[in-house]
Structure 1
Amino acid sequence: MSRLGKRPIPAPNGVTITVKGQDVSVKGPKGTLNFRAHDDVEVAFGNGELSVKPRHETTRARALWGTTRAVLANNVKGVTEGFEKNLEMTGVGYRAAMQGKNLQMQLGYSHEIIYQPPEGITIAVPKPTEIKVSGVDPQVVGQAAAEIRSYRPPEPYKGKGVRYAGEYIRRKEGKKK
């Protein structure tokens, strides 16, 4: 039995949840998210709560039960509060700035890197060495942050590069004479 899957998801004030068959639509103050549940899982909305149950007692249905509930809980959280990832830049001359909606970065290459964010993602640069990626869908927010980090991942000798805020970089010792 999935302990997480058993818990119903309460619908906060200002959030509208619509269930039509396997399609679940969550609409809130920050936007709208749609999700299609797997056929092995049954989704129901009633009394201001969203509940998820497995249709069969198979291993696959029980595995999808908790996963579906977690995705729907993230959708409800996303349309009310939103999700955010913070990135830090470390290195001499490494900096970022906004160029309209696009992110312009200088990461030690001979050219500037311009990142165009996907739909529904907002990027802010509070300091030249900090980047905030925010949006309603946690998967898209994480993917955008990972793409920005992939332009110059942190290296283990000096720690230079783009890293997540609070990420620990395991350092290596350099050459010995």
Structure 2
Amino acid sequence: MSRIAKYPVQLPKGVETTINPDQIIVKGPLGTLSQALTGDVKVELEDGKLSFAVANDSRHAKAMSGTVRALVANMVTGVSTGFERKLNLVGVGFRAQAQGTALKLQLGFSHDIVHEVPEGIKVECPTPTEIVVKGANKQVVGQVAAEIRAYREPEPYKGKGVRYSDETVILKEAKKK
């Protein structure tokens, strides 16, 4: 069995879970998330803790026990506190503006880029060069941030582009005459 699957997931106050044979549903103050289950992992709820056990002795079941535990732990964290990803715009004239369910980006192209934000994700722009992506689903938050970053990735000579706030861009030295 996976070593991570040995540790139970503690449910904080305000978080409820429903375990069905084919899926697990987690409800909290920030929303509802569900994860499909296979017959390889047994999930049990007792005393406000979710425990995970291998249903059969196959190698796949042992691997999936840790994977399912990590996914459910992220779901519990997401519906209770949520996830966020911060992006910075580096470059002259690079700006972002949140407009309802869309994000308007000016990234040095001849046109503005309008990125539609999926349901359940909230995008904020505290300053014109900062973007904060928030949501309950960790995978979707990361995917939206990666899509925004893909419009103009940081280039290696001046570092201009969209980058994560914790990302370091190693700059190359310019060609010398």
Q: Does the TM-score normalized on the shorter chain lie above 0.5?
A: yes
Aligned residue for 2:150? 150
Output the CA distance in 1 between the equivalents of 2:92 and 2:144.
Answer: 24
Output the CA distance in 2 between the equivalents of 1:105 and 1:31.
Answer: 28
The number of equivalent residue pairs is: 177
> What are the residue-to-residue correspondences of 1:115-126 with 2, within 5 Å?
115-126=115-126
Q: Does residue 89 of structure 1 match 2:86?
A: no
Q: Which sections of structure 2, spanning at least 5 residues, go unmatched?
A: none
- The DSSP-based 3-state class of the residue aligned with 1:171 is coil
> What are the residue-to-residue correspondences of 1:67-82 with 2, within 5 Å?
67-82=67-82
Instruction: Report Cα offsets for 1:57-80 as digits up to 9, x if no partner.
Output: 222111111110000000000000
Q: 1:22–1:42: 8 Å Cα contact kept in structure 2?
A: no
Output the CA distance in 2 between the equivalents of 1:98 and 1:26.
Answer: 29
Output the CA distance in 1 between the equivalents of 2:101 and 2:137.
Answer: 19
Stretches (4+) displaced over 4 A: none
Q: CA deviation at 1:2?
A: 2.0
Output the CA distance in 2 between the equivalents of 1:142 and 1:101.
Answer: 17
- The DSSP-based 3-state class of the residue aligned with 1:162 is strand
Q: CA deviation at 1:148?
A: 0.3
> What are the residue-to-residue correspondences of 1:3-14 with 2, within 5 Å?
3-14=3-14
Amino-acid identity (%): 51
Q: CA deviation at 1:38?
A: 2.3
Amino acid at match of 1:122: K
Q: CA deviation at 1:169?
A: 0.9
- The DSSP-based 3-state class of the residue aligned with 2:52 is strand
Aligned residue for 1:161? 161
Output the CA distance in 1 between the equivalents of 2:133 and 2:100.
Answer: 15
Amino acid at match of 1:30: L
Q: 1:37–1:43: 8 Å Cα contact kept in structure 2?
A: no
Q: Does residue 127 of structure 1 match 2:127?
A: yes
Aligned residue for 1:51? 51
Instruction: Report Cα offsets for 1:94-131 as digits up to 9, x if no partner.
Output: 01112232111100000000111011000000000000
- The DSSP-based 3-state class of the residue aligned with 1:93 is coil
Aligned residue for 2:33? 33
Q: 1:22–1:43: 8 Å Cα contact kept in structure 2?
A: no
Q: Normalization by structure 2: what TM-score? A: 0.97
RMSD: 0.9
Output the CA distance in 1 between the equivalents of 2:38 and 2:172.
Answer: 45
Output the CA distance in 2 between the equivalents of 1:130 and 1:152.
Answer: 14
Q: Which sections of structure 1, spanning at least 5 residues, go unmatched?
A: none
Output the CA distance in 1 between the equivalents of 2:132 and 2:98.
Answer: 11
Aligned residue for 1:65? 65
Output the CA distance in 1 between the equivalents of 2:45 and 2:69.
Answer: 12
Amino acid at match of 1:66: G
Q: Normalization by structure 1: what TM-score? A: 0.97
